[in-house]
Amino acid sequence: MTATPLLPLDPALVDRARRLAARAAQPVVDLARSHTTVSVERATLRLAGLTGADPDGIPWVNRLADAVAEQVGIEHGIALPVFHALADHPDLTRLAHAAAAGGVRFAFPKGAAAEAARERATAAVSHGFDRIDRSRRRRDALVAEIGDPPQRPWIYLIVATGDIYEDIPQAQAAARAGADVIAVIRSTGQSLLDYVPEGATREGFAGTYATGENFRLMRAALDETSREVGRYIRLTNYASGLCMPEIAALAGMHRLDMMLNDSMYGILFRDINPIRTFVDQRFSRQVHARAGIIINTGEDNYLTTADAVEAAHTVTVSQLLNEHFAHEAGLPDRLLGLGHAFEINPDLPESFRMELAHALLARQLFPDAPLKWMPPTRHMTGDVFRGNLLDGFFNLAGVMTGQSILLVGMMTEAVVTPWLSDRDIALQNVRYVLNACAGLAEDFHPPADGFIAKRAGEVLGEAVDLLGTIVDDGLLDAIADGTFGIMKRPADGGRGLDGVAKRAEDYWNPAAAILDRDAAAAPAREEAAR
């Protein structure tokens, strides 16, 4: 990671913050480990190789999982009844066809039949993980062959037309103009769909649908452009919403490099049930760990609804919780793209000094994490000249504080979906600041008794106080009370709760078993790597 200036943070206070975050997170981890969801079970079928959709566009994984759930429930896991029934069908697709037509009676096998079903299920799911492993090795080989971007932060740029075949040339043009990471923003509302569309899609509102085929097409196009520009271009999409585990599995198999995957974004901003979200999030992060995918968390979103000064400590609290959830799922720091944002009202006196304080605090708390620094959106007014200047300040703060992933700010934010020309101007802004200020982080050392250091210490202290309250009251209650982003989301509300089940004592899922072993071995593996 980039060398960073040091703030005089109290080590004991930092340690207390992490210990409190672990205590606050543990009940939610226990909840996630003791429940399953329809999307976790469908993700298992996807890893086992089931693809395609019926004539109405409903994926066969949904048809098969729904048939099993209706007959025997999901609390025991659906792998055993599915792979027991598979003995009478040539493959999973034919089984799904028959189940959708009402031609299959599912049951839980016993004895030798159960052992045979376990072997078939484990072998099928292992093929899916083999595919993820091959994709990870392919990424490593391409990075070694083509090379990484020569500088940090990586320049992250969004493409969003709704049509994958329009996204591709725009993404390639952006890479040629200097972007290192291309994010194909997801169609508005997809997070609320309880299925993943199949195939390439050509219509979407304010974004493009996340599908396996769209992932494949964009990854192939960016591989071509990576060779052309001489640096590996990374691809990002969104593992969130009601199908978070399935999208994570598809991303791993199709070699995406980053995925937006926040512990609370779907709860707060899409009103998805908290329990559904935390269960799905744990499984999806385990898949990301296996695939070597960098996650991007969504703390920046809190500051679009709450005041960026008053609520700064909630960002720090969320980062600490996200860190604990990620580590528990097996994600090392190098894959932990914690989010934060440049969202203080620019009319506020000393706003830039406060932005520097908040950014430095995040950088010092998480020195080995590839932090994702988000540009101003809330206070963009439509004045494109002012907006371009404000983005320049954002870029400067990113360089001064050693950020890792810098999302390109658009002067047309809140006006139009950016044109290629808008992106080109925005990239010029980034390139100028990065070139002119390269290495500035090495020279920027705010005084220990100055404004920036005091503000950072103040935010950390407020974060510790809030974490203490969350430990006492519970994280689910804190979410229900509107602690984060001033959005109140009770644990028994929101979309998707009907797709959650408490695991039975004999619950079994071959994918979850493999991923749990991965997560348990992760600390020792990382220590050996160091």
How far is it, in rounded angstroms, from Cα 507 to Cα 33?
A: 11
Residue 138, pLDDT score: 98
Q: Is 372 a catalytic residue?
A: yes
**Residues 362/340, Cβ–Cβ less than 8 Å:** yes
Residue 502, pLDDT score: 98
Residue 529, pLDDT score: 66
Q: Is 265 a catalytic residue?
A: yes
Residues whose CB falls within 8 Å of the CB of residue 165, separated by 6 or more in sequence, listed in order: 200, 202, 217
Burial of 70 (0-12, 13-18, 19+ CB in 10 A): exposed
Residue 420, pLDDT score: 75
From the candidates 167, 280, 372, 391, give the one annotated as an active-site residue: 372
Domain boundaries, the chain: 36-146+495-525, 152-454
**Structure confidence by residue, pLDDT tens digits, 375-417:** 999 999 989 999 999 999 999 999 999 999 999 999 888 777 7
**Residues 192/200, Cβ–Cβ less than 8 Å:** no
Point out the residues of the chain with pLDDT beneath 70.
1-5, 528-530
Residue 522, pLDDT score: 83
From the candidates 265, 391, 422, 507, give the one annotated as an active-site residue: 265
Cα→Cα distances 206→186, 188, 341, Å: 8, 6, 22
Residue 4, pLDDT score: 54
**Structure confidence by residue, pLDDT tens digits, 181-207:** 999 999 988 999 999 999 999 999 889
How far is it, in rounded angstroms, from Cα 308 to Cα 300?
A: 9
**What count of other Cβ atoms lies within 10 Å of the Cβ of residue 438?**
12
Q: Which tokens is 240 given?
A: 């969130």
Range 152-454 has CATH code 3.20.20.440: yes
Burial of 154 (0-12, 13-18, 19+ CB in 10 A): buried
Q: Which tokens is 264 given?
A: 């609370």
Residue 2, pLDDT score: 46
From the candidates 180, 280, 300, 391, give the one annotated as an active-site residue: 300
